[in-house]
Amino acid sequence: MKLVFATHNNHKLKEVQLLLPKYITLLSLTDINCLEEIPETAATLEGNAIIKANYVTKHYGLSCFADDTGLLVESLNGAPGVHTARYAGVQKNAKDNMDKLLKALKGKEKKQRTAYFKTVIALNLATEQHLFEGIVNGHIAQQKSGEDGFGYDPIFIPNGYTQTFAQIPLSKKNSISHRARAMQQLIHFLKNK
Ligand code: IMP
């Protein structure tokens, strides 16, 4: 069975392929010759994951899943939320995004820095659509620490840890992260299909 993962990121693709039963062959957007950036114009993470999955199903007639992730800070009413990637502008620069968030939280104590990452996956399988969700709770650090990871990793401290995602070993991050949790649900579903 062939299933498209609506991403251009081969690293993500390989990671997920390893977790799936052998009879499922994952294809990336590049593999199906979909070279454009699918516009993420919805007001919610769910909406954007659905747009991406539906785009592939509509234009290529293939079963597909797509993910969308946001960082939600409670004292900022859920910002940056659906705008996480481009919080500080369309250049989607991780340093600019973190600087903007640290500025927005300047002077706030730990309990006002509560935040969580949320990943939503939309799966289109034949005529059915299924949604999966993964969350990791934590808080935003006072400053950046650590070199590993990407995006907001240097300022996100998951609950139960004193270090940021950029300081925790990647294997550990990958077992507790929002994306891992959403993926685990998807994989469980596909294995039981
Ligand atoms: P995407 O939907 O996977 O492209 O994620 C949207 C944005 O969320 C990215 O551009 C990153 O800035 C941020 N993000 C997603 N996952 C992570 C993560 O695991 N650590 C840090 N930032 C992340």
pLDDT in tens, 27-61: 999 999 999 889 899 999 999 999 999 999 999 99
**Counting atoms of ligand 1 from 1, which one is nearest the CA of 165?**
20
Q: Quick check: 12 pLDDT over 90? A: no
Query: Rounded to two decimals, what is the model's pTM?
Result: 0.94
User: How would DSSP label each residue in 55-74?
Assistant: HHHHHH---EEEEEEEEEEG
Q: Tell me which of 31, 67, 68, 96 is the catalytic residue.
A: 68
Query: Do the beta carbons of residue 26 and residue 20 sit within 8 Å?
Result: yes
- For the Cβ of 68 lying below 6 angstroms from any atom of ligand 1, the answer is yes
Compute, in angstroms, the gap from residue 153 CA to the centroid of ligand 1: 9
CA distances from 22 to 1, 81, 181 (A): 9, 35, 21
Region 163-174: mean pLDDT is 93
68 catalytic residue (yes or no):
yes
Q: Is the pLDDT of residue 119 over 90?
A: yes
- Please give the structure tokens belonging to residue 31: 């593999």
Provide the percentage of residues in the chain whose pLDDT is more than 90: 83
pLDDT tens-digit map of 52-103: 999 999 999 999 999 999 999 999 999 999 999 999 999 999 999 999 999 9
Q: How far apart are CA 164 and CA 139, in angstroms?
A: 9
Q: Is the CB of 84 under 6 A from ligand 1?
A: yes
What integer best gives the mean pLDDT of the chain? Answer: 95
The candidate with the shortest Cα–Cα distance to 151, out of 80, 76, 103, 55, is: 80
Instruction: Identify the pLDDT of residue 192.
Output: 86
Q: What pLDDT, on a 0 to 100 scale, did the predictor assign at position 72?
A: 98
- C-alpha closest to that of 70 among 23, 115, 29: 115
Q: Which band of pLDDT confidence, cut at 50, 70 and 90, is reported for residue 20? A: confident
**CB of 153 closer than 6 angstroms to any ligand 1 atom:** yes
Q: Which atom of ligand 1 is nearest to the CA of 97?
A: 12
- Name the CA dihedral angle for 173, 156, 70, 19, rounded to a multiple of 10 degrees: 0
